[in-house]
Chain A
Amino acid sequence: MSTSTDTISQPDGSAHDDHHDDHHEHHIPKGITRWLFTTNHKDIGTLYLWFAFIMFLIGGAMAMVIRAELFQPGLQIVEPNFFNQMTTVHGLIMVFGAVMPAFTGLANWLVPMMIGAPDMALPRMNNWSFWILPFAFLILLSSLFMEGGGPAFGWTFYAPLSTTYSGDSTALFVFSVHIMGISSIMGAINVVVTILNMRAPGMTYMKMPLFVWTWLITAFLLIAVMPVLAGAVTMVLTDKFFGTSFFDAAGGGDPVLFQHIFWFFGHPEVYIMILPAFGIISAIVPTFSRKKLFGYASMVYATASIALLSFIVWAHHMFTTGMPVAAEMFFMFATMLISVPTGVKVFNWVATMWRGSLSFEVPMMFAIAFIVLFTIGGLSGLMLAITPADFQYHDTYFVVAHFHYVLVTGAVFSIMAAVYYWLPKWTGRMFDITLAKWHFWCSLVSVNVLFFPMHFVGLAGMPRRIPDYALQFADFNKWISVGGFAFGLSQLIFLVLLIKACRHQGEKVSDQVWDGAEGLEWEIPSPAPYHTFETPPVIK
């Protein structure tokens, strides 16, 4: 069970008051060195979150270029080669630069506070795992300015397009992915070690908040698959520059082998980007329903099942590569199975709301939008699992619609929900609610104008990753682009709100912040002191 009904006490008996007496309060370093040398989980969490948001804006700007070119048929703004660089780097930045670091930032801020630990278990490694990230993305972005441009083979970098037929910037791409991978693995190890070793007395596994549980499982997924990605990019590097033939049939290799390796990483990767979201929604929905999460244990088991299944479904990305029919059947059935634990999660959230006492503060609005829109993405995923139908959907905008519903209205909305939910705890002040509502409504409407018609053009036959298209797709593409620009602009509202929040504007909030909120992080003062739980709380 979660900690919600358990009483929490500090050994010094000052759970609710300012227990950070002067002898506890360490000196907070000032200036740039505070951020460069910090080993504080809250500082590093903040760094990760800002980095992710900046990457979100850069990756979003690339999406704007894509949508501007696709606003009408014909080539008008960019050349096809640059268009391909935009789709490629947009994907890489959003996956590795925005969504993953944002979740790592949330883990840094929240996991120690939720389990009653003073910090992450490996604070110096924590600093290192963040500070190599900006260099990874500097390398990736700088490759765009090379002669011949940056990577143009899609974020999935299928060989031999990424080997024999790619530009020299491939080397930069490979090294930047290596650095991202090292950062992710270090971050994941830190999360695992923290959760396994640093829980406060009495914080048994089945009392951990679901965000902690989902991140623990996510971290194991990361440790399992990031080395596989590292292997894939290394083989691309040696195939391109050192004469190996892993993916070249002329030398005894196989280009489809690349896809097997990539998607053995890639499918768990998509759960890496959604499991922490499940944890966030499982924290927010009970708070604003003023009712305990329905089916806590089944949520844990469902998360673990999804993680295990994620290792045996990878080839559903490859149904058209010409696999044996038996393999196609296996991957179809295994993929369909994933909908069972995912369904359990959605049903549990709905059951949590059922006969609750609901209110609709901004985090709850994002959480409800998440449940509806993520479920739409999940249902189109179920359609994609059906192999014969997938032959028609594969590599069309239907797929683009599907994964943007699960990643944008899924993962990204959950991150926004999380920021709105915990931001008052971090800053000690309520964010600008009016701006937040503007942000929500503009995002909600525009994101659907952006992604929903993609289902239609995809079904009507528009392939993905093309800079120009046949005339029957023109009307919808215009709307999609309009939605895209609106969604992009809506994020500037969020930027303004965050800047205001960081400048300590807004009303002071109570320690509990939200009247239905329960858990260790709501027991400490708002804003959360620089050091928390130096003496572990005891959970009874």
Chain B
Amino acid sequence: MKRISFLLGTLLSSTGFSVLAQTAAERSDLNMRPGVTDISNQVYGLHMLMFWICVVIAVLVFGVMFYSMIRHRKSKGAKPAHFHENVKVEIAWTVVPFLILIGMAWPAATTLIEMEDASKADITVLVTGSQWKWHYKYMDNDVEYFSVLATQQEQIKNRFVKGENYLLEVDRPLVIPTGKKVRFLITSDDVIHSWWVPDFAVKKDANPGFINEAWTNVNEPGVYRGQCAELCGKDHGFMPVVVIAKEPAEYEAWIIEQQAIAQRAKAEEQRLLAMNMSMEELMTQGQQVYNRVCLACHQGNGEGLPGVFPALKGSAMAIESDQITAHIDIVVNGKAGTSMQSFSKQLTMSEIAAVVTFERNAWGNNTGEMVQAKDVNAIMNGK
């Protein structure tokens, strides 16, 4: 009886797998997505081809085994045969799998060659990973920006209800045109990241000091979401990739608008250089900037994570007045050999001024000292 239940259980579990696998092919939350490019569809086809070959092999092998387990049982009086080798059979089950492999290798190789050919691209985007955000730079236009997780901390900490695109939403998505070959140059400023958009079948590591290539040609307009795929430190799970594919005309309009916005921002920054902000303004803006870019490491209470990220609260650099320059410098240029990155590209001068002021006056760091955009400019541009 126990043996029967053993057999039944093993049989059931194996047939259960194949049923699950079948539904897996139909439902997208169970299976790979076919995606929205020719390449991603080919990859999906390869995946399904491999899957079904594996299912057939499994059914045959396990079928023979289970048949044997049912029919050749000692309790049924089975007497053991005496064979223990058969050259013909052994050659057959070495050669036949080899032939099946060749059948798999051919379509895989042709798809691979196509995927790795990033030549003749229409537009090029430089993708730079850093802890824990992506930076996009359009090589053919004067547009570049950071793309950061947009999900609120309150949702992550379970204080607010989670939104539909929880952890898969960013403040500024990458925008690319449909029907054009878009080439991605992928690199990193610190550790290794990996830029992955499942719907494009593009996953490429961002290696610091080296530039990788990938490309896509999206067929349908839409919003496509992915994530960093290579462990890159504490907030590896919190650096999504969001790409919006627009019709070429819409894309053109968008990129022209972005250029204009970038120019206005530069003019605004020059204007602010001449102005002094009040303590209140600096603190309000400083807190916003802090929460957006500094909090992940230095924490909301400014105490950092001991042994990993240093505290700002009570630190010499943030309270001693002869260290103001060093304080601005570390935010502007970062600190080599640590996780402290340069924020000169991510923040405007007035934002840096605000956040430094905030750090010198929050959590009991009551220095009363203010830093203005022109002080930051002096350090950034040596004036």
Asked whether B191 lies within 8 Å of A165 as measured between CB atoms, the reply is yes
Asked whether A456 lies within 8 Å of B233 as measured between CB atoms, the reply is no
Asked whether B46 lies within 8 Å of A388 as measured between CB atoms, the reply is yes
Asked whether B6 lies within 8 Å of A365 as measured between CB atoms, the reply is yes
Q: Which of B150-175 contact A (CB under 8 A)?
A: 155-158, 162, 164-168
B383 on the A face (CB < 8 A): no
Contacts of A464 in B (CB 8 A): 231
Asked whether B205 lies within 8 Å of A392 as measured between CB atoms, the reply is no
Contacts of A346 in B (CB 8 A): 61
B352 on the A face (CB < 8 A): no
Shortest distance in angstroms between A405's beta carbon and chain B's nearest beta carbon? 11
Asked whether A161 lies within 8 Å of B54 as measured between CB atoms, the reply is no
Contacts of B230 in A (CB 8 A): 158, 320, 395
Q: Select one of B93, B198, B339 contacting A461, CB under 8 A.
A: B198
Shortest distance in angstroms between B31's beta carbon and chain A's nearest beta carbon? 5
Asked whether A81 lies within 8 Å of B234 as measured between CB atoms, the reply is yes
Q: Which of A53-76 contact B (CB under 8 A)?
A: 73-76
B322 on the A face (CB < 8 A): no
Q: Select one of A84, A153, A320, A375 contacting B194, CB under 8 A.
A: A320
In the complex, what residue of chain A is closest to B131 when comparing beta carbons?
A: A165
B209 on the A face (CB < 8 A): yes
A529 on the B face (CB < 8 A): no
Q: Give CA–CA (A223, B69) in the complex, Å.
A: 40
Q: Give CA–CA (A383, B31) in the complex, Å.
A: 14
A452-B20 in contact given A291-B84, A389-B43 (Cβ < 8 Å): yes
Q: Give CA–CA (A215, B142) in the complex, Å.
A: 62
Q: Give CA–CA (A270, B82) in the complex, Å.
A: 35
Interface string of A448-480 (1 = CB under 8 A from B): 100010011001110111111111100000000
Surface stretch bound by B, among A27-35, A356-364, A501-509? A356-364
Q: Give CA–CA (A337, B104) in the complex, Å.
A: 12
A206 on the B face (CB < 8 A): no
A149 on the B face (CB < 8 A): yes
Asked whether B43 lies within 8 Å of A391 as measured between CB atoms, the reply is yes
Interface string of A422-465 (1 = CB under 8 A from B): 00000000000000010001001100100010011001110111
Asked whether B228 lies within 8 Å of A463 as measured between CB atoms, the reply is yes
Q: Give CA–CA (A109, B108) in the complex, Å.
A: 46
Shortest distance in angstroms between A18's beta carbon and chain B's nearest beta carbon? 31
Shortest distance in angstroms between B236's beta carbon and chain A's nearest beta carbon? 6
In the complex, what residue of chain A is closest to B2 when comparing beta carbons?
A: A437
Asked whether A298 lies within 8 Å of B306 as measured between CB atoms, the reply is no
Q: Which of A324-351 contact B (CB under 8 A)?
A: 325, 328-329, 332-333, 336-337, 339-340, 343-344, 346-347, 350-351
Q: Select one of A81, A84, A152, A452 contacting B17, CB under 8 A.
A: A452
A391-B115 in contact given A74-B156, A340-B97, A356-B68 (Cβ < 8 Å): yes
Interface string of B193-209 (1 = CB under 8 A from A): 01010100111110111
Interface string of A279-307 (1 = CB under 8 A from B): 00000000001111111111000000000
Asked whether A456 lies within 8 Å of B24 as measured between CB atoms, the reply is yes
In the complex, what residue of chain A is closest to B100 when comparing beta carbons?
A: A339
In the complex, what residue of chain B is closest to A455 when comparing beta carbons?
A: B24
A355 on the B face (CB < 8 A): yes
Q: How large is the interface on B (under 10, 10 to 19, 20 to 34, 35 or more residues)?
A: 35 or more
Contacts of A337 in B (CB 8 A): 101
B278 on the A face (CB < 8 A): no
B81 on the A face (CB < 8 A): yes
Chain A residues bordering chain B, tally (CB within 8 A):
105
Asked whether B94 lies within 8 Å of A158 as measured between CB atoms, the reply is no
Asked whether B85 lies within 8 Å of A463 as measured between CB atoms, the reply is no
Asked whether A459 lies within 8 Å of B104 as measured between CB atoms, the reply is no
Q: Which of B323-358 contact A (CB under 8 A)?
A: 337-339
A135 on the B face (CB < 8 A): no
A486 on the B face (CB < 8 A): no
Asked whether A392 lies within 8 Å of B68 as measured between CB atoms, the reply is no
A80 on the B face (CB < 8 A): yes
Shortest distance in angstroms between B13's beta carbon and chain A's nearest beta carbon? 6
Asked whether A465 lies within 8 Å of B231 as measured between CB atoms, the reply is yes
A336-B308 in contact given A368-B69, A466-B236 (Cβ < 8 Å): no
Asked whether A392 lies within 8 Å of B43 as measured between CB atoms, the reply is yes
Q: Give CA–CA (A118, B189) in the complex, Å.
A: 59
Asked whether B73 lies within 8 Å of A359 as measured between CB atoms, the reply is yes
Asked whether A76 lies within 8 Å of B80 as measured between CB atoms, the reply is no
Asked whether B307 lies within 8 Å of A149 as measured between CB atoms, the reply is yes
A355-B72 in contact given A291-B80, A294-B85, A391-B115 (Cβ < 8 Å): yes
A139 on the B face (CB < 8 A): no
Contacts of B6 in A (CB 8 A): 360, 365
Contacts of A81 in B (CB 8 A): 234, 305, 308
Contacts of A80 in B (CB 8 A): 234-238
A201 on the B face (CB < 8 A): no
In the complex, what residue of chain B is closest to A336 when comparing beta carbons?
A: B101
Asked whether B210 lies within 8 Å of A471 as measured between CB atoms, the reply is no
Q: Give CA–CA (A339, B276) in the complex, Å.
A: 70
Surface stretch bound by B, among A37-45, A122-130, A249-257, A491-499? A249-257
Shortest distance in angstroms between A66's beta carbon and chain B's nearest beta carbon? 13
A386 on the B face (CB < 8 A): yes
Interface string of A380-397 (1 = CB under 8 A from B): 101100111101101110
Contacts of A161 in B (CB 8 A): 191-192, 231-233
A391-B72 in contact given A160-B190, A254-B210, A328-B112 (Cβ < 8 Å): no
Asked whether A290 lies within 8 Å of B80 as measured between CB atoms, the reply is yes
Q: Can you name 14 A-B residue pairings with CB atoms under 8 Å? A: A75-B158, A161-B231, A255-B207, A322-B186, A322-B204, A322-B213, A332-B105, A355-B68, A357-B72, A359-B73, A368-B69, A386-B47, A466-B227, A468-B156
10 smallest CB-CB distances across A and B, nearest first, come from A148-B307, A249-B209, A466-B237, A147-B307, A322-B212, A379-B54, A355-B81, A292-B84, A395-B229, A291-B80
In the complex, besides A148-B305, A322-B212, A386-B46, 13 extra interface pairs with C-beta distance below 8 angstroms are A80-B236, A249-B207, A325-B113, A343-B93, A350-B68, A354-B64, A383-B47, A386-B108, A391-B43, A392-B201, A395-B203, A456-B30, A472-B29
